[in-house]
Amino acid sequence: MKRRPLIIATVIAVGFLIIFARLAELMLFDHEKLLRLATIQHTKGQKILVRRGGIYDRRGRELAVSLDRFTLYGDPSMIDSPEYVARKLSKVIKTKTSILRNKLKEKKKRYVSLARRVSPEQAVAALRLKLKGIGVEPDSERFYPKGFLASHVLGFIDIDNRGREGVEKRYDSSLAADGGKVYLARDARGNILYRGDKYESVGNSIVLTIDEGLQYIVESELESAVKKWKSQSATAIMMDPHTGEILALANRPTFDPNSPGAYRAANRRNRAITDLYEPGSTFKIVMAAAALEEKMATLNTRFDCSEGEIEVGGKKIRDTHKHGVLTLKEIIQKSSNVGAVKMTLKLGPERFYKYAKVFGFGNRTGIDLTGEVSGVVKPPQRWSGTTIGAMAIGYEVLVSPLQVLRAYSVIANGGYLVKPYVVAKTLGPDGRVLQQEDRSERVRVISGETVKRLREAFVTVTEEGGTAPRASVYGNTVAGKTGTSRMIDPRTGRYSRRDFVSSFVGFVPADDPLFALIVVIWKPRGEYYGGQVAAPVFRAIAEKALTYRFIPMEDRGDNNILVMGQPVRGGRESQDF
């Protein structure tokens, strides 16, 4: 009896010691583990909503925006009847009951996404059902309000909000900003109590060099041309030759960036920078510039083209008809293949190759879009016996439409090679300018005197007697060049007698160009000369663009009606075989 209190006291003391030891173990050794478990029970980790910044044209008009949407989710562990919940939700979000039911049966999961990017109306309707274990969280959807317009410049995003093509991909890190997670406090029933300070991240916005009005003009005229000539594809690019700003860029076929998956990959391809072709006579700019710059000829130097053909490396190169004796200016005006070859032979391989590289052929232009290719210009050591004759008239060389446009911009801007670009500036979420494009990156590649002479020659191309009078614009002088080239028939490996590439590249007004423009049409049907197919498209675009920009017509004393406004700076063709 005397030992009983001692035994009881000892048992109690030992019990407390065990409790204290366990508490010490939990507090000192298992503290981090228990803290993590408590955090999981008391909070909910959720990804921060990344709202992409907007994309605007040069005048601030919306081309890509992010709309408020919601993600509908479920907690299967809290749902007693997946069938009932699925049936109720299917009527709201228009999803098959079986799909929702299978997701809600995954009892081991605490979170399953039931529907992405549902509208605010659908989200409210789902919450009104007051279904246990069902909730919504903010989401966003990319929307392109102008549909097809400038789709190859804008690109598109995937389901995970990542840029996949165009500006959306090239500037993805800036448009999407930083993501991460935010931890939301919740009660025992899983209801959110506190959202924290940062619940979404807003990306930067981008202002393009594209002008929506000019883009619409280019796209509509290009669409009309494709329908008229039943062509396989077409490209048109308008650029400020002084700065390299892309004012408009369009391809056909095209696609709607709101639903890119509904179109073939060929429709989404930006042919302006990815598709290579043999340029034909537009490549004669190399021969003409080299001849004048090296002082091996003047515009009045005469060449005997009376035979109408010339043999190079065992192959004959012909004009469509005999021209007689032509000056260098007339060789350009009439697109004489024989004259171009004779002048190129006089220059020699090294000089000709040098000026092809001077104009940027064989190199990427550096435009800030994805997928640009460099083209192919072989060095002289890789030339065959026929190469010099072929290259003189734009064969055995592969170029992109943008490369040709940049080359002619050298003549338009006074002799400088510019770097094309489509993004003018980047704006922060608060509207501050974070980055402005530096327009000083241009290099003089030919002299002002050569530029003057070449402008004079290219103007004659669009006049009577030239290959492209259909490119002339009433009231403004146009300078430019036609191109027609055969395409390779993949079945035979030889040049096709049916498939051609027709093109025209030029600038207007010729004396102080507002823009340079190229039109390239692949596989037209009916006619195929550049002066017949591409030149009229150039004129249609140029006339509307000049009116849109309020550029006055030249007063030639013939009772022209002048369009008042402040100017903003900025036939038959010889067969090219």
Tens of pLDDT, residues 70-115: 889 999 888 889 899 999 999 898 889 999 988 888 877 888 889 9
Range with the lowest mean pLDDT among 146-155, 399-408, 424-433? 424-433
Q: What's the pTM value of the predicted model, to 2 decimals?
A: 0.85
Q: Indicate if the pLDDT at residue 258 is higher than 70.
A: yes
- Please measure the distance between the N-terminal and C-terminal CA atoms of the chain and give it in whole angstroms: 125
Tens of pLDDT, residues 431-489: 999 998 777 667 899 999 999 999 999 999 999 999 999 999 999 999 999 999 999 99
Question: Which percentage of the chain shows pLDDT scores above 70?
Answer: 87
Mean per-residue pLDDT, 113-125: 90
List the domains of the chain with CATH numbers. Answer: 45-72+113-208 (3.90.1310.10), 212-422+441-548 (3.40.710.10)
Q: What is the pLDDT of residue 399?
A: 98
Q: What is the pLDDT of residue 34?
A: 67
CA gap 497, 510 in Å, rounded: 35
Q: What is the pLDDT of residue 563?
A: 41
Contact indicator for 281, 335 with CB cutoff of 8 Å: yes
The catalytic site residues sit at 281
Q: What is the pLDDT of residue 194?
A: 47
Cα Rg, the chain, nearest whole Å: 34
CA gap 461, 479 in Å, rounded: 7
Q: What is the pLDDT of residue 566?
A: 40
Is the peptide bond between 509 and the residue preceding it cis, with omega within 30 degrees of 0?
yes
Question: Residue 196, Cβ neighbours under 10 Å: how many?
Answer: 12
pLDDT band at 561 (very low <50, low <70, confident <90, very high): very low
Question: Residue 109, Cβ neighbours under 10 Å: how many?
Answer: 13
Structure tokens at 399: 């170029």
pLDDT band at 32 (very low <50, low <70, confident <90, very high): confident
CA gap 197, 185 in Å, rounded: 12
Question: Which percentage of the chain shows pLDDT scores above 90?
Answer: 67
Q: Indicate if the pLDDT at residue 5 is higher than 90.
A: no
Q: Indicate if the pLDDT at residue 574 is higher than 60.
A: no
Q: Indicate if the pLDDT at residue 182 is higher than 60.
A: no
Q: Indicate if the pLDDT at residue 38 is higher than 50.
A: yes
